[in-house]
Amino acid sequence: MIIDYSDEIKKLIDKIEYFWKHLDIDSNKQKLAELQKKASRKNFWDDPENAKKVMDKISKLEEEINDIYTLKKGLLELQLTNQLALEGKDNDLASEVTVKILELIKDVEEFELKKIFTDKDDKLPAIINIHPGAGGIESQDWANMLMRMYIRWADKKGFKTEIISIIYGEEAGIKSATFTIEGKFAYGLLKVDKGVHRLVRLSPFDAAHRRHTSFASVEVTPLIKNDIDIKLEQKDLKIETYRSSGPGGQHVNVTESAVRITHLPTGIIVQCQKERAQTLNRRTALTILISRLHQREIDLREIKKEKLHKQKKEIAWGSQIRSYILHPYKMIKDHRTGLEVTKVTEVLDGDINIFLKKYQ
């Protein structure tokens, strides 16, 4: 059966035309020509600092214009192939159209992300720290559910995840977890989920099967491996080693290879137990610490602008950014955007894009 993709193609046409007008490509082409003319002058590099700024602008404009032309070229090829497939009732061409339209949709989404995520940290991998709050074993289990939700989201996007450290609860769940997610704009996509997440459900740990409310905090930090000006001094660090262990007391590592580093001036604590060698865990922990300190500097600047005061609350009632209600009805509500969805199972299984995109 040959499928007519004309409606889907029309949506892509509208979106690409919107990009063209919204980004004012015609005007940017003129700006690019003027900048290139300026860069061709003999004395252009007499002022290296200004020359670099001009070259950066040229590079940015060239990339943007080339990207939009690549999308338009792909769109024209798709339209032509779809038309030929329909007119000739050609199954092979129809299959080609299916492949091309999926590729173009992906390219359009990536172009859109590049326009949304302009901060230099947005393209970096993300460090996720999850901590249970008020609620005891209930919140520990909820923290574990959140960790699974983000890892499943990453898996579905083809992103790479790596567990850095986990401290398991005595009965169930986790007391804390740190893991990284690496993929295109991982930090840019996930940074909006920083905050307190609230769960309401019938407790699987309560013999009376009563309704419980649980809380857990999610911290999202860009993973910075180089090009950072934060300096660590030995006197500011408390470095400890311990044996990493899994649930039920089974040791992941029988030697003291796990590393915990406390940054004394700020109280930030990072841990790593993913490697068998203590030196490798120490190196990873230091990388995580530097990234956390970098994020702290960003947060402090934002606090001065009074933009993050609502996020600096206790992990308990009234401070949540999102509520996950499993009883007496099923609904997930984002308290910042007002978005509500009833597909609770799907969201907890990693389908969180609707919330991430809504808040961009």
Q: What is the pLDDT of residues 155-166, one digit of tens each?
A: 999 999 999 999
Q: Between the CA of residue 245 and those of 87, 100, 256, 260, 321, what are the distances in Å?
A: 64, 48, 10, 14, 32
Tell me the DSSP string of 212-263: EEEEEEEEEEE---SS------GGGEEEEEE--B-GGG-BS-SSS-EEEEEE
Output the pLDDT for position 261.
94
Output the pLDDT for position 229.
65
Chain centre distance of CA 11: 26
Question: Thinking of the domain 6-116, which architecture would CATH place it in?
Answer: Up-down Bundle (1.20)
Q: List, for the chain, all residue ranges whose pLDDT scores fall below the cut of 50.
A: 249-253, 308-313
Output the pLDDT for position 134.
73
Domain-wise residue ranges, the chain:
6-116, 126-358
Tell me the DSSP string of 111-124: HHHHHH--STTTTS
> For 65-107, what is each residue's pLDDT tens digit?
999 999 999 999 999 999 999 998 888 899 999 999 999 998 9
- Provide the pairing of β-strand 237-242 with 211-222: unpaired
Output the pLDDT for position 339.
94
Is residue 217 a contact partner of residue 312, using CB atoms and an 8 Å limit? no
CATH number of 126-358: 3.30.70.1660
Is residue 211 a contact partner of residue 181, using CB atoms and an 8 Å limit? no
Output the pLDDT for position 252.
47
Closest CA to 353 of 326, 334, 330, 329: 334
> For 182-211, what is each residue's pLDDT tens digit?
998 999 999 999 999 999 999 888 888 889
Output the pLDDT for position 305.
56
Report the distance separating Cα 177 and Cα 245, nearest Å.
13
Is residue 135 a contact partner of residue 215, using CB atoms and an 8 Å limit? yes
Closest CA to 191 of 314, 316, 308: 308
